[in-house]
Structure 1
Amino acid sequence: MGYAQVPLAVDAFNQKLADTPQGQLLDVRTPDEYEQGHLAKSQNLDVKDPVFVQKLATLDKDKPVFVYCLSGGRSGKAAKLLVDNGFKEVYDMQGGFLKWSSAKLPFEKDKNAIAAPTGMSQEEFNKLTASNQPVLIDFYAPWCAPCKKMMPTIEKLTREYAGKATIKTINYDENKALAQSLQVDEIPVFLLYKNGKLLWRGLGEMPEKEFREVIEGNM
């Protein structure tokens, strides 16, 4: 085949990887993320490392490369860099490690990895969302580009709806157990609660108008 960047859903990625014994598996997250959990036989090259492209020299351009990150943003960037640098066959996992782990597919964790922060407990979350005012939850990560783009909107809404609605940002990296219990497998994700009930769920970059409609429609 020619030079190609092929997006694959988690199940298809898993099957294609199993069917490609000569495949090279690349985890492009940070070393800290990698330690907390990664696919077996994967190599960790942080796509945000200034020398990422130079480090690609350790890979064989003539063999397929399978690439993933946490939710898909960084792997997409890495896959493009791979193709641009002469790799002929590049498979990009859609949804990343979040989707992989939520699908209960196997992964490894470094034995000496420092335990990830447990973050907010389910009890604390339940107490937060039990309010009779709307409660908008924003699951984000500081490295997530769409999350960063949405933050000014979230901060603006937080100020404007003070006293009328609660808007809470929750760092995914520090609250993985809670995220998993809420079936959060993509970020940013927005959850609107009232009286402990989930009333609305939004995903990705969204217009400010939609947030206003959802919040005001549930006051």
Structure 2
Amino acid sequence: MKLKIYTYLFISIILSSCQGQHTKKVETLDVKTYAEKLNITNNPQLIDVRTPEEYASGKINNAKNINWNANDFATQAEKLDKSKPVFVYCKVGGRSAQAANKLSEMGFKEIYNLDGGIMKWNAAGMQKEKSTTYIGMTDEAYQKLIASDKKVMINFSAVWCAPCQKMKPYILKMQEELKDHVTIIRLDADENKSLLEKMKIDGLPVVIVYENGKETWRNLGFISEEDLKKHL
């Protein structure tokens, strides 16, 4: 009986050891930790998994573009060195998390994903390369927009943001229902990138309420129609 128990324990230890050797490592790091890890890594493999258009509009210094949504993602990723760390990021962290898991499946052993993506990176003032072209509404135009004797609600959203699209129908409905005492304006985050960077907005969706040009309330993330109306 004891022999059977020892045999079972021995086999279990061996199996656990073998599984451990094949465990792939993916870590999601906050901006500060990600930047520190990036800085101490010699010739880091830094991968921007957004679209080429997003990549062209501004990226982290020395990042290479491998589009997660492209059919050749795996083919391009195979050109990287699997024995060295890989750093991935996207807009807010969703696509890069998927890409990180794919890299893990492909045999990469050390993978770091940027929590919150380049939006949090920019909001934290970490951006190394900046677009020379101002994208979207200027700060001056925005200040004129919120300077009203009525309440003004600004909703920053994006077509790729699932919570944004979930909120869109009732925000459009509220635009009409509450138009007599609240001005509700929806702004596309990608079309107003420079404004978001200046305001240090690091996630979506965002709702900001102003009275007489002064911010009185802000919400980051999904909020129900009922809860949103409480603040209007």
Are the aligned partners of 1:67 and 1:92 in contact in 2 as well (CA < 8 Å)? yes
Question: Quick one: distance in 2 between partners of 1:179 and 1:189?
Answer: 10
User: Which of 197, 203, 210 is the aligned partner of 2:220?
Assistant: 203
1:178 aligns with 2:195: yes
User: Which of 141, 144, 154 is the aligned partner of 1:127?
Assistant: 144
**TM-aligned CA deviation for residue 28 of structure 1:** 0.8
1:14 aligns with 2:35: yes
- Deviation string for 1:37-78 (max 9, x for gaps)? 212221101112233233322223332211111222222222
For 2:119, the equivalent position in structure 1 comes to: 98
- Report the CA distance shift for 1:54/1:174 in structure 2 as closer, same or farther (over 3 A): same
For 1:54, the equivalent position in structure 2 comes to: 75
Q: Which amino acid aligns with 1:179?
A: L
Q: How does 1:1-80 map to 2 (within 5 A)?
A: 2-21=23-42, 23-80=44-101
Question: Quick one: distance in 1 between partners of 2:82 and 2:50?
Answer: 21
Other structure's SS at 1:63 match = coil
For 1:139, the equivalent position in structure 2 comes to: 156
| TM-score computed with the length of structure 2 as normaliser | 0.81
| TM-score computed with the length of structure 1 as normaliser | 0.85
**TM-aligned CA deviation for residue 106 of structure 1:** 4.4
Other structure's SS at 1:105 match = coil
Are the aligned partners of 1:117 and 1:174 in contact in 2 as well (CA < 8 Å)? no
Bigger radius of gyration: 2
For 1:82, the equivalent position in structure 2 comes to: 103
Query: How many correspondences in the alignment?
Result: 211
For 2:9, the equivalent position in structure 1 comes to: none
- RMSD (Å), alpha carbons: 2.2
Are the aligned partners of 1:118 and 1:174 in contact in 2 as well (CA < 8 Å)? yes
State the percentage of identical aligned residues. Answer: 41
Q: Which amino acid aligns with 2:71?
A: P
Q: Structure 2: 5+ residue runs without aligned partners?
A: 1-20
For 1:167, the equivalent position in structure 2 comes to: 184
